[in-house]
Amino acid sequence: MTRRAREALLGYALLVPSAIVFAWFFFYPLYRLFVMGLHQQNRTGTAERWVGWSHFGDVLGGEQFREGVRITGTYVLYTVPLGLVLGVLLAVAANRRLKGIKVFQMIFSSTIASSVAVASVIFVVLLNPQIGYFASVKMFSLSDPDTALRGVALSSVWQNLGLTFVIVLAGLQAVPDEVDEAATLDGYGPVRRFFRVTLPLISPTLMFLAVVLVIFALQAFAQADILTQGGPLGSTETLVWKIFNSQQPVDQGTGAVMAIGLFGITLVVSLAQFLILDRRVHYGN
């Protein structure tokens, strides 16, 4: 065997463990999902029959899925822009050389340490229609189908804020002081400096964050489940919530197809991410 061939063989050998893990936990479940989507079970789950690919068309074009996409899409619009703007504001406020600024940076980033469940419980206390402190705030009322999704979104924004803050802060700290000082000497005040210099220079960071937050929002489930159980009137039934609640044997095929649909949406967003991050300007020196 040539040295080259030996090295190649060793390389593949080293890939085997991760390939096994991937096959076991990803490719096989995905395959099972397709199989489930192609069959329909009876009420008790004791028998199933082939329903074929037309089932995919029925479910993905159906009322349920379209409603889930609409709610999830609205959820993306509620959480991503607001989360980004708040994260940038906090990071800009905390990005200065002041005594004790580390304390503020720690406070602002602290929600990183909380889980979705913790965040949701906190917002139950705040927004619950019966016992919440802010139950009377109509804008985020969880008992009104028109506003419940906003309340759920608010808890997500809060929970993701720590991560957004930390990443934006890192981006801001990578902007050379001298470039900002040059803009000062060029006659620009703080606001114009922010829009002319800082924002463009951290735009790759913001782009990355936007994609991450979109994917988070597409996967939103626990916050809706804990805060509103999908209600009122199904107004907070996100895609994952609908998938999770398709557990009756008779619904499982539908759930599987919706899961594949969500996978497709997420895949498209991720591909867009790669394209954007690949094409983004490299500001190296």
Partner 1 sequence: MSEVAFDGVTKRFGDVTAVDQLTLSIRDGEFMVLLGPSGCGKTTALRMVAGLETVTEGTLRIGDRVVNDVEAKDRDVAMVFQSYALYPHVTVAKNIESPLVARRFDTGDGSPRKLTSAERAERVTEAAAALGLTDLLGRKPAALSGGQRQRVALARAMVARPAAFLMDEPLSNLDAKLRAQTRIELVELHERLATTFVYVTHDQVEAMTMADRIAVLSDGRLQQVGPPQAVYDRPHNLFVARFIGSPPMNTVPGTVVRSEGATSVRLGGQSIEVEGLAAEPLADGTEVIIGVRPEDLVVDAAGQVEAEVRAVEWLGHERLVVCDLAGHQITIRQAAGDDPVATGDVLPLTADPAKVHLFDPDTTERLN
**Residues binding partner 1 (CB under 8 A):** 176, 178-179, 181-189, 192, 196-197, 200-201, 281-285
Cβ-based nearer residue to partner 1, 6 or 192:
192
Cβ-based nearer residue to partner 1, 17 or 189:
189
Shortest reach from residue 198's CB to partner 1, in Å: 11
Cβ-based nearer residue to partner 1, 63 or 177:
177
Residues 6+ apart with CB under 8 A from 169: 91, 94, 95, 105, 109
Three-class SS of 14-74: HHHHHHHHHHHHHHHHHHHHHHHHCEEECCCCCCEEECCCHHHHHHHCCHHHHHHHHHHHH
Shortest reach from residue 175's CB to partner 1, in Å: 10
Shortest reach from residue 90's CB to partner 1, in Å: 24
Cβ-based nearer residue to partner 1, 61 or 284:
284
Q: How far apart are CA 180 and CA 77, in angstroms?
A: 32
Which helix (H) or strand (E) segment is 152 a member of?
A: helix 148-173
Q: What DSSP designation does 249 have? A: T
Shortest reach from residue 60's CB to partner 1, in Å: 41
Could you tell me how far CA 192 lies from the centroid of its own chain? 31
Cβ-based nearer residue to partner 1, 32 or 196:
196
Shortest reach from residue 207's CB to partner 1, in Å: 13
